[in-house]
Amino acid sequence: MAAADPAADSIRFRLNGVTVTAPGPGTRPLGPMLREEHGLTGVKLACDDGTCGLCSVLVDGQAVRACRYPVGEAEGHVVVTVEGLHAQATLNRIQRAFLKWGVPQCGFCAPAMLIAATELLGSRARPSEAEIRAALSGVLCRCTGYGRIVAAVAEAVGEVEMPRPPAAGRAAGRDVPAIDGYAKVTGGLAFAADAVPPAALWLRLVTARRAPARLSLGSVAPLLAAHPGLRAVLSASDLPAGLAAAIPFPAAGRVEFLGQPVAAVIGSRAALAAISDAALPIRYQPLPETGAPPLAVAERRHGAPEAAFAAAARIAEGSFALETLAPAPIEIAAGWAEKRTDGLDLHLALRPGGAERRLLAAALGLPLEKVRIVPPAAAGGFGARDIDGPALLLGFAAWTLDRPLALMAAPLVAATKIAPRLRVTARLAADRDGRLLAAESDSHLAAGVTPGAASGLAAGLAAGLAVGLAAQGATGPYPLAAASAAARALADGAAPLGASRGLGAVETTIWREARIDDLAAGLGLDRLDIRRRNAAGTPGLAACLAALAPRWRQAAEDVAAS
């Protein structure tokens, strides 16, 4: 077959059993085209860089990432999305297995998981568990531990018998398929980005590439003239005072952190695709770091730790730091707004009584009841977090332009790496019998927000992280007579760590447990015994360790005999 011409005016291929013609250019990605021109919203767009696999479709039976796969490459081939896996109302055996095992929890990754499983079972009649896990590894999931997905694919090798529905009044305690399970395994469940009207314009946030910096925005008239599909470029100066103060646009032209919104471009999707952020007349003047005070400080202290360390038979100490963190971009910020004859609808996952309604009503001169929140019905709430600023922009622009306006879906956590720069220094003291006497810790976390730009959510996150680090550093699960712990969430120019809610606490726990192992080795004690001695004051932990003891002993004997 001849190679596809990327400059071709149209591309023909089979899509879910029907021959379709797609207009060029062939270089545009397949995923958005399937969603917007054919309504196949089972093709989810999240990371937009081929990382998460949630946009997977089959091309001649092989799974491809539709967010990066050029439309022109589909010329003459067979494309199948999750909507094409079943015939009318009859689920295939893989979909039935997913439904039976309760695989699609929120449902966002279920279509791509089904595509991956279909590719595998199309080439391997009886795959091993390792082969199943390898096949599914290219699709990320926020909800699950993957165990049920693996089990469902293994059962789908043969015929899947669905459980009989329980009689009326007998469902309690029974394992029954979710009532929205059918929609989840067929790609029919609508999330925040899946019900955008065809006539909608799109809004894309432009975020800061330097921080801290002084920002200036030149005239956008030449850009608007060069791109007829571009309708507006919004910055802080274009917004009513009440909205400008609530959206984290740079105050007085000062950019505080990387990724801070600095402008919004509005137009057709084709126009926005043709305009890079670098084409905007934005200038950055780097500024020196201000040495701002900590965003949050948490301290815990009780007993006399200095005296306890002086009397200790053994001390374990040291420090650790977290390396650069690259969270997986799965959850997206998405939704749309629409002007009605007498009000405004926000189709976003927001609290109905949230501040967004009040701010928009005041800015637009509307009664509060005329601004409605219409949350998507889909579980998972994709687009629910950190959406307040984009929601205000969407509402204001949709009202002003008198057009439905959708937020161009983008990951809440960028695929670029984020450096939390967590550093913890700590030590533990024990007597000769292995009883813990005292703990000390000092934690520093670059939380990625600054006092001038931090939203209430970001400031609360910084405080929560500091409190969690201090609590873990002070005692953890063991009742200690003396402890001292301090934790500081520091401001820097990095992007806010809005998706790292537990950052540091788990790592601190693991590090402390490793130091308890050091104490056990130095005192010649068994690693489980030293923990049981120190868990006596915590009944739940003591019971857990006691239940573990027989298996621990057997495992120790097996290792010694090997």
- CA nearest to 356, candidates 394, 325, 322: 394
pLDDT for residue 173 is more than 60: yes
pLDDT for residue 214 is more than 60: yes
| CB burial readout 455-489, b (16+ within 10 A) else e | beebbebbbbbbbbbbbbbbbbbbebebbbbbbbb
pLDDT for residue 56 is more than 90: yes
pLDDT score of 289: 67
- CA nearest to 425, candidates 506, 515, 523: 515
Element (H, E) at 336: strand 332-339
Residue 297: beta bridge partners?
488
Mean pLDDT of 438-456: 66
Residue 314: beta bridge partners?
430
pLDDT score of 159: 84
Mean pLDDT of 251-261: 79
Distance CA 161, CA 166 (A): 15
Mean pLDDT of 422-447: 88
pLDDT score of 104: 83
Q: Please, which residues have CB within 8 angstroms of residue 543's CB and are 6 or more apart in sequence?
A: none
Q: Please, which residues have CB within 8 angstroms of residue 119's CB and are 6 or more apart in sequence?
A: 58, 61, 62, 63, 135
Please report which residue ranges of 107-220 form alpha helices under DSSP H.
110-123, 129-136, 147-155, 181-186
Mean pLDDT of 529-538: 91
Q: What is the DSSP letter of 132?
A: H
Distance CA 83, CA 34 (A): 11
Tell me which of 118-127, 381-390, 440-449, 512-521 is least confident: 381-390
Beta strands 261-267 and 78-80, pairing class: unpaired
The position carrying tokens 């093709």 is: 43
Q: How confident is the model at residue 487 (pLDDT cuts 50, 70, 90)?
A: confident
Residue with the larger pLDDT of the pair 365 and 490: 365
Mean pLDDT of 277-303: 82
| CB burial readout 406-442, b (16+ within 10 A) else e | bbbbbbbbbbeebbbbbebebbbbbeeebbbbbbbbb
- CA nearest to 40, candidates 151, 193, 220, 153: 193
Token pair of 155 as six digits = 């059962």
pLDDT for residue 248 is more than 90: no
Digit-coded pLDDT (tens) for 182-196: 999 999 988 878 888
Mean pLDDT computed over every residue of the chain: 84
Distance CA 340, CA 492 (A): 42
Distance CA 110, CA 187 (A): 8
Tell me which of 240-244, 419-423, 432-436, 482-486 is least confident: 419-423
Mean pLDDT of 354-370: 90
pLDDT for residue 457 is more than 50: no
CA atoms within 13 A on the CB side of 498: 21
Mean pLDDT of 46-71: 93
Torsion angle, CA of 1/39/382/357, rounded to 10 degrees? Answer: 150
Q: Please, which residues have CB within 8 angstroms of residue 298's CB and are 6 or more apart in sequence?
A: 463, 466, 467, 469, 470, 486, 487
Prior bond to 420 cis, omega within 30?
Answer: no
pLDDT for residue 493 is more than 80: no
pLDDT for residue 6 is more than 60: no
Distance CA 190, CA 376 (A): 7
pLDDT score of 243: 86
Three-state DSSP at 456 gives helix
First to last CA, the chain: 58
The position carrying tokens 């699950």 is: 144
pLDDT for residue 514 is more than 80: yes
- CA nearest to 443, candidates 321, 554, 551: 321
- CA nearest to 34, candidates 52, 51, 59: 59
pLDDT score of 453: 43
Is 267:202 a contact under the CB 8 Å cutoff? yes
Distance CA 488, CA 455 (A): 18
pLDDT score of 177: 78
pLDDT score of 502: 53
Token pair of 96 as six digits = 């039935």
Three-state DSSP at 490 gives strand
CA distances from 269 to 37, 198, 239, 265 (A): 12, 11, 23, 11
Four-residue CA torsion sign, 138, 139, 144, 150: negative
Is 186:42 a contact under the CB 8 Å cutoff? yes
